[in-house]
Amino acid sequence: MKYKVPRGTRDILGKEMLIWNKVNNSIEKLAKLNNYQKIETPVFEQTELFKRGVGETTDIVEKEMYTFDDKSQRSLTLRPEGTASVVRAFVENKLYGGRLPVKLFYNGPMFRYEKAQKGRYRQFYQFGIEALGSEEPSLDAEVIFIGWKLLMDVGIKAEEVKVHINSVGCKECRTKYKEKLVEYYQDKLNNVCSNCQTRLDKNPLRLLDCKNESCGKLAEQAPSIFDVICSNCNEHFEHVKVYLDIFKVPYVIDKRLVRGLDYYTQTAFEYRNQNATSTQDAFGGGGRYNGLVEELGGPLTPSIGLAMGLDRIVLALLEKEQPQDSLEFFVACMGDDGVNRYATEIMQLVREKGYSCDKDYGKRSFKAQMRLADKCNAKRAIIVGEEELNNKTLTLKNFNKGKQEIISLEQLKQQLERGSLSV
């Protein structure tokens, strides 16, 4: 029996992991700079939370959830996204009672039963932020900025990504907009895909972001929310644009961009990869959800959130760079157990002083140990044999400079403490 990872999942290791580490470090730094606190929620929740929080008519809830009964017949679901869980935590922990907005971020695996392909997986990773408790348009701009800045910080170039923004209005103007859309599509139903035919009644906004070619053409000609937007939502949108300029985020207005759920309000945005050749072109996106906290049992709390697809960001970076790990020291030893013990002692000393260090564990020849040091991309080698053991000395070799020197163990200790090596 040969075991394989389940379809749509994969192992992350080697060079790819170096990029993940870089991305994760950038996330932590960026979140801290902007005063977002980390939250961990369970990877599974009550199924009902997602039905309510994501929406019954979404693809996620209709087709993509990993739902199971536990041994006590409770229906649980692996989280398909992060917002519902964070909002549940916000309500359950009564965070609305403190200083608002509450600014949170998460970073972890999500699960959707999707058609697995490059850039689309069944277990994938999202960094998300949620800012709960303010309708200030500068907060919308801050959230949009953070997604954009993450892309810049990890090494995506400004010309490689386009920030699309739109407004989906509020309950009032969206109701009018939906009527307009239904009217527009009424005599065009033969020209849209079967999915869109059934969506028109339940969720007409979703017709606008259908990836089907003929649906796309019709969507281009469809009425815009800005034909019917109320003055409050329009003003909000105008202010968001002003703040985006202050945050120096370049953007385009895209009237086809929607978040198709009822409690999504006003601002919607997405980051599109300009180099993407497939439909998996979104690095991330988000929007305002002024109605969601109430929907999930909390007080009225206008909020906005963002989710970035880390797998896609890492994929884009892997196409641009080949990162290499490196090691500060490699200890090579030639001799019996006594020498090996001496080498181990030195290795531990070096590590204690804060330098990465490794050695051979396979009793290899000296030549093979040097090859191993090279494979580890070691900057320096510490070479020990019988003589060094007896004299408490070592040979320090700098690979880049091609120089080496015999020093005492005591000297090595002092040099490491000073942070400057003689070779």
As annotated, the binding site for L-histidine includes 81-83, 112, 126, 130, 259, 263-264
- Pattern 304-343, ligand AMP, x by CB under 6 A: ---x-x-xx-------------------------------
Applying CB under 6 A, which of residues 59, 114, 136, 345 lies at the interface with ligand AMP?
114
Distance CA 421, CA 327 (A): 15
Give the burial string for 112-134 (b: 16+ CB within 10 Å, else e).
bbbeeeebbbbbbbbbbbbbbbb
Residue closest to ligand AMP (Cβ): 309
Q: Omega into 302 within 30° of 0, i.e. cis?
A: no
Part of the chain binding ligand AMP (CB under 6 A), chosen from 117-125, 135-143, 152-160, 261-269: 117-125
Stretch touching ligand AMP by CB under 6 A, among 34-42, 121-129, 158-166, 329-337: 121-129
* Among 55, 260, 284, 302, contact with ligand AMP (rule: CB under 6 A): 284
Q: How far is the CB of 156 from ligand AMP (least distance, A)?
A: 13
Q: Which two tokens stand for residue 69?
A: 């009964």
The region of 47-55, 119-127, 216-224, 356-364 touching ligand AMP under the rule CB under 6 A is 119-127
Give min distance, CB of 376 to ligand AMP, in A: 32
Element (H, E) at 68: strand 67-69
Name the binding residues.
Answer: 81-83, 112, 126, 130, 259, 263-264
Footprint of ligand AMP on 252-281 (CB under 6 A): none
Please report whether residue 81 would count as binding ligand AMP according to CB under 6 A.
yes
Applying CB under 6 A, among 24, 34, 109, 120 the residue interacting with ligand AMP is 120
Q: Which stretch binds ligand AMP (CB under 6 A): 116-124, 172-180, 349-357, 360-368?
A: 116-124
Q: Minimum CB separation from ligand AMP for residue 27, in Å? A: 14
The DSSP bridge pattern shows strands 327-333 and 378-384 to be parallel
* Minimum distance from residue 120 beta carbon to ligand AMP (Å): 4
282 belongs to the binding site for ligand AMP (CB under 6 A): yes
Task: Work out whether 124 is an interface residue with ligand AMP (CB under 6 A).
Answer: yes
Q: 273 and 160 in contact (C-beta within 8 Å)?
A: yes
122: helix, strand or coil: coil
Helices 409-418 and 337-352 pack at an angle, to 10 degrees, of 20
One of 121, 251, 330, 342 touching ligand AMP (CB under 6 A) = 121
Count of residues in contact with ligand AMP, rule CB under 6 A: 16
* Distance between start and end Cα atoms, the chain: 52
How far is 289 from 41, CA to CA, in rounded Å?
A: 20
Task: Work out how close the CB of 283 gets to ligand AMP at its nearest, in angstroms, rounded to a whole number.
Answer: 5
Q: What is the dihedral of CA 413, 417, 420, 423, to 10 degrees?
A: 10
Give a three-class secondary structure readout of 207-257: HHHCCCHHHHHHHHHCCCHHHCCCHHHHHHHHHHHHHHHHCCCCCEECCCC
Does 41 bind ligand AMP (CB under 6 A)? Our answer is no
CA dist 351 → 130, 135, 170, 331 (Å): 39, 50, 58, 11
Residue 136 within binding range of ligand AMP, rule CB under 6 A: no
Positions in the binding site for ligand AMP (CB under 6 A): 81, 112, 114, 119-121, 124, 126, 282-285, 307, 309, 311-312
